[in-house]
Amino acid sequence: MGTFIVRRLLVALGVALTISVVSFMLLHLSGDLATSIAGPEATAEQVAQIRVEYGLDRPIVSQYLDWLGGALQFDFGRSYYYQSTVIDLIVERMPITLTLGGLALGLAVCISIPLGVVAALKRDSWVDRLALLFAVVGQAMPSFWFGLTLIVVFAVTLKWLPAAGSGGLEHFILPAIALGYYATPAMMRLTRTGMLEVLESDYIRTARAKGLSTTSVIFKHALRNAIIPVVALAAVELGFMLGGSVVIESVFSLGGLGQLAWDAISRNDYPVVQAVVLIIALFYIVLTLLADVANAALDPRIRTR
Amino acid sequence: MPLLDVQDLRVDLPVEAGTLHAVRGIDLSVERGEMLCLVGESGCGKSMTSLALMGLLPRRAQLSAGRLDFAGESLTALSERRRGQLRGRRMAMIFQEPMTALNPAYTLGNQLCEAFLRHRLGNRRQARERAIELLERVGISAAAERLAQYPHQLSGGLRQRVMIAMALMCDPDLIIADEPTTALDVTIQAQILRLLRDLQQEMGTAVIFITHDLGVVARIADRVAVMYAGEVIETAPTQALYANPSHPYTRGLLSCIPAPGKTPPGSRLQAIPGVVPSLVGEVEGCAYRNRCPLVREGEVDAARCERTPELRRLTGDHQARCHYAEHRAATRVAQPEMSP
Amino acid sequence: MTVSTSTTSRPSRAPAAGGRARALGELPLPRPAWSRVTRKMFGHRGLAIGLVCVGLAVLVALFAPLLAPHDPYFQDISNRMVPPVWHDKGSWTHVLGTDKLGRDYLSRLIYGTRISLTIGLVAALISGVIGTTLGVLAGYFGGRVDAFISYIITTRLAMPVVLVALALASLTGGSLTTVIVLLGLLLWDRFAVVSRSVTQQLRDAEYVYAARTLGCSLPYILVREILPNIAGALIVVITLEMAHAILLEATLSFLGMGVQPPLPSWGLMVAEGKAYMFFQPWVIAIPGVALFVLVLAINLLGDGLRDLNAPGGRN
């Protein structure tokens, strides 16, 4: 178990470093940065000046090492557009994205797990078919379009909730629904198949042979085992949702990390883009680590290895 | 009055091609403290019978019975709630696969005490004490520490011992053991068999022991019922069955067992040629006639076998479902060793 | 039937064998369930619906010039924002109305099918080649190769796809070709994961072992023995990744970093209609529904193929 954890951590560290290289190179390999920062009307002198000013004339490796050294101390440089450091921008926007992700995940869990359990228990019934339909629709719906539809229906027509902007919790409800629906189908299906598989297993028959109540058989014996992979998936889905927040946040003008990234991309504000890519990737890495930990905690076969 | 009295038990399963008659009208009775062995090859309906008795049939299965009485109560008339109170409390079950029959997510202690607590036989402390006592009785050392262990930390033999202890937790009147030794190593098989036999005699619990292995039967059973194609084709006290097997199928099964000292070294073990008929749709006539050596050798009138035979009383407690049960063919049966 | 053959083959020992064999033949024997596969294929409603819809979309894309009532790029400023035909002010000249530049919405929708399908198909093929190559190599060789490729896969999974795609599309200036290549380079992870695990199972199969013993070359084994056997799983992944690529392209275009105007990308149409959605919701509803239906159909097709591949169970 000990060596397993160490190896797992080393891989995570390696992945994080690789991604830092990728997110740095991403923007440096795809054209002359100085030209794109300066804009189309800049003169050659201005471009040259910018190149020196931003240190773009130095070798790429030393630029990377400087950037990484700073990143390790949470110093991602200054934004080209805003008059502040990148880390300040991120710290300011982060809570919004985390709130959105947390709410969306909570929503997805609250819907997908009960629905998956019921679908499995009532296999091939109308509930099961409805759940499947719900999942299939969720997988095919473009999240930006679903977000816009929610705005038209609930904000414009019914006037129940605000259409855009950040503020109180009510601003998060529609975005959380739009983002959460995106994560629901996979978790629902995994719960359903897991339950179906477990309900067929020998130990469920043993539990029934003991005369246990149906509730105890389903929740204590079946769900407890079926839920293990779902917990891991939930962690991974949260990682995906943080990455996907760029779409939902720009639809709802929510002003979190995602919108910061989108604005930065449109304005060629590279230090911000690099930092956000790296930070969201780090979140994903940490979340997958947590998923492994949760797996081990829930499954004695892994825990006591 | 027998503890368990079953008459004309039928189990039907809807399948794609029609209805599978898994159990086709069997009669069984088990006295208190008796060990009955239900013998047959896979697919003969013996597991379906045990699940039907426990009330654990798959939901799509249909059960009907002329009589299904347990300790004077009709099981078919009971509510699901009342049935749940019997299950695990007065009738318990041991399954074939010890590796998968225990829930991997809970400790042995948790799973052992579960039924005891559910049937309100005492508090947690008492449940724990009984679990330790029974684990020791089934031959598990350091019982108290074992309670905190998980199933995957135990070998198959140990898990089957835990399953036996679990079945005994509520001191049931009847235990149904469905091939409890099939998945185990041969040496461990023998240990588990002896343990079951000892416990059964010590506690006076009735046991229905299901197996495909007639060699096992000789060592433990009081009485034997041989099943074929969803029917009981012969039933007799163990001694009588081995001394005088009356159904050609029983004789076939017995000749498949090598007997030390009697089967000549290097000789081929016998096998019964042919296949079991499909139980989808109605089976007319004797179900065994397509494999029956009496029919094949032309020793009997095959036309008579087209009519379905009844389970007939031959002598005393010995019954067989064959028109020619009294016919003695040239097939000589090598008898396995009987243990005292 | 099989039982009776033993009796008929020895007529000398049993004179009445013929008659008896016929009588014995009446005993029902276990029957093979060969018909189950065909029944499943035709009986699978999702697969049928998916197949029909995708087929229709392909036809629409192929015959777009014939089907489209107008030139999708023709601007008619005097006929801006005409509502669709079911609306009070709609007309049959523009069945689905016109957009803010007076371009016929139906024609743009029809030409948009071409963009979505092209992007889905080509991107899925590019990522399929990349992912399958990596996955098969990792699965077949195991050991260090596997460790390294798994590491690449993990790294790829940790990258936020939408963000990276957005950033790259913005840098490369967003065109149909760059979007296709970008998505192809990004969406290979599932191909790699699936082909890796299937290859691992096949690696020790008898026939692969036999080919190795016979001295077949490595490329021969990989292409002739392994690939045909993972094809079933790969076809399922192709459909899923097609759907994924189509959705991502729409997202990129919606955010202004994908396919550029005046191309009639559905995602772009939603973006262009966004300003009008409060009073003319159909401007976003129509391209959105088209996107939804196409992706749904491809997913149904994929799910159906997966069910056919893996017997027993819907998921």
Whether residue B213 has pLDDT greater than 90 = no
Percent of chain A residues topping a pLDDT of 70: 95
Reported as a single tens digit per residue, the pLDDT across B57-111 is 888 888 888 888 888 888 888 888 888 888 888 999 998 888 889 999 999 999 9
Q: Pick the closest to residue C160 from A64, A146, A19, A104 (CA basis).
A: A19
Assess whether A286 and A149 both reside in one domain. yes
Number of folded domains that form chain A: 2
E strands in A18-85:
none
Whether residue B330 has pLDDT greater than 70 = no
Stretch C7-34: mean pLDDT: 38
Whether residue C167 has pLDDT greater than 60 = yes
Q: What's the confidence (pLDDT) of residue B337?
A: 46
Reported as a single tens digit per residue, the pLDDT across C264-308 is 999 999 998 888 888 888 888 999 999 999 999 999 998 888 888
Whether residue C32 has pLDDT greater than 60 = no
CB spacing of A140 vs C172 below 8 angstroms: no
Q: Taking CB atoms and an 8 Å cutoff, what residues of chain A touch C168?
A: 26, 30
Whether residue A212 has pLDDT greater than 80 = yes
Stretch B196-220: mean pLDDT: 87
Q: What's the confidence (pLDDT) of residue C186?
A: 92
CB spacing of A196 vs C170 below 8 angstroms: no
Q: Taking CB atoms and an 8 Å cutoff, what residues of chain B touch C7?
A: 296
Answer whether A81 touches C (CB < 8 Å): no
Answer whether A144 touches C (CB < 8 Å): yes
Assess whether A183 and A233 both reside in one domain. yes
Q: How far is B128 from chain A (nearest CA, A)?
A: 17
Whether residue C261 has pLDDT greater than 70 = yes
pLDDT band at A198 (very low <50, low <70, confident <90, very high): very high
Contact B4, B65 (CB under 8 A): no
pLDDT band at C21 (very low <50, low <70, confident <90, very high): very low
Assess whether A233 and A190 both reside in one domain. yes
Q: What's the confidence (pLDDT) of residue B268?
A: 64
Chain B, residues 78-107, CB within 8 A of chain A, namely 84-89, 92-93, 95, 97, 100-106
CATH number at residue A258: 1.10.3720.10
Residue A112 maps to a domain: yes
Cα angle A28, A31, A33; round to 5: 60
Assess whether A91 and A68 both reside in one domain. no
Answer whether C3 touches B (CB < 8 Å): yes
Q: How many CB atoms lie within 10 A of CB B14?
A: 11
Mean pLDDT of chain A: 87
Assess whether A15 and A62 both reside in one domain. yes
Whether residue C247 has pLDDT greater than 80 = yes
Residue type, A111: I
Assess whether A143 and A248 both reside in one domain. yes
Q: What's the confidence (pLDDT) of residue B59?
A: 82
Q: Pick the closest to residue B104 from A192, A203, A200, A213 (CA basis).
A: A203
Reported as a single tens digit per residue, the pLDDT across B235-276 is 999 888 888 888 888 888 888 777 666 666 666 666 777 777
Whether residue B286 has pLDDT greater than 60 = yes
Q: What's the confidence (pLDDT) of residue A5?
A: 80
Contact B240, B313 (CB under 8 A): no
Residue A81 maps to a domain: no
Residue A140 maps to a domain: yes
Distance CA C193, CA C72 (A): 41
Assess whether A121 and A212 both reside in one domain. yes
Q: Domain ends where: A72, A104, A133?
A: A72
Assess whether A51 and A121 both reside in one domain. no
Assess whether A144 and A292 both reside in one domain. yes
Stretch B160-188: mean pLDDT: 87
Residue A141 maps to a domain: yes
Q: What's the confidence (pLDDT) of residue C15?
A: 36
Residue to substitute from C20, C22, C26, interface B, most B β-carbons within 10 A: C20
Q: What's the confidence (pLDDT) of residue C124?
A: 95
Residue A156 maps to a domain: yes
Question: In the numeric block, which tokens belong to residue A40?
Answer: 């189309």
Q: What is the CATH number of domain C113-309?
A: 1.10.3720.10
Q: Pick the closest to residue C242 from C64, C107, C50, C105 (CA basis).
A: C50
Assess whether A97 and A39 both reside in one domain. no
CB spacing of C28 vs B296 below 8 angstroms: no
Stretch C122-147: mean pLDDT: 93
Domains of chain C, by residue range, sit at 113-309
Query: What's the burial of B170, exposed, middle or buried (CB within 10 Å: 0-12/13-18/19+)?
Result: buried
Q: Pick the closest to residue C241 from C119, C120, C158, C122 (CA basis).
A: C120
Q: HSE (CB half, 13 Å, CA atoms) of B339?
A: 12
CB spacing of A202 vs B114 below 8 angstroms: no
Residue A148 maps to a domain: yes
Assess whether A238 and A124 both reside in one domain. yes
pLDDT band at C35 (very low <50, low <70, confident <90, very high): very low
Q: Taking CB atoms and an 8 Å cutoff, what residues of chain A touch C270?
A: 142, 144-145, 148
Residue A272 maps to a domain: yes
Assess whether A62 and A90 both reside in one domain. no
Cα angle B71, B72, B73; round to 5: 95
CB spacing of B87 vs A300 below 8 angstroms: no
pLDDT band at C20 (very low <50, low <70, confident <90, very high): very low
Q: What's the confidence (pLDDT) of residue B183?
A: 77
Range of A235's domain? 86-303
**How many Å from the N-terminal Cα to the C-terminal Cα in chain B?**
28
Query: What's the burial of A279, exposed, middle or buried (CB within 10 Å: 0-12/13-18/19+)?
Result: buried
pLDDT band at A82 (very low <50, low <70, confident <90, very high): confident
Distance CA A105, CA A236 (A): 10
Name which of B87, B88, B101 is nearest A203 (Cβ-Cβ). Answer: B101
Stretch C216-229: mean pLDDT: 85
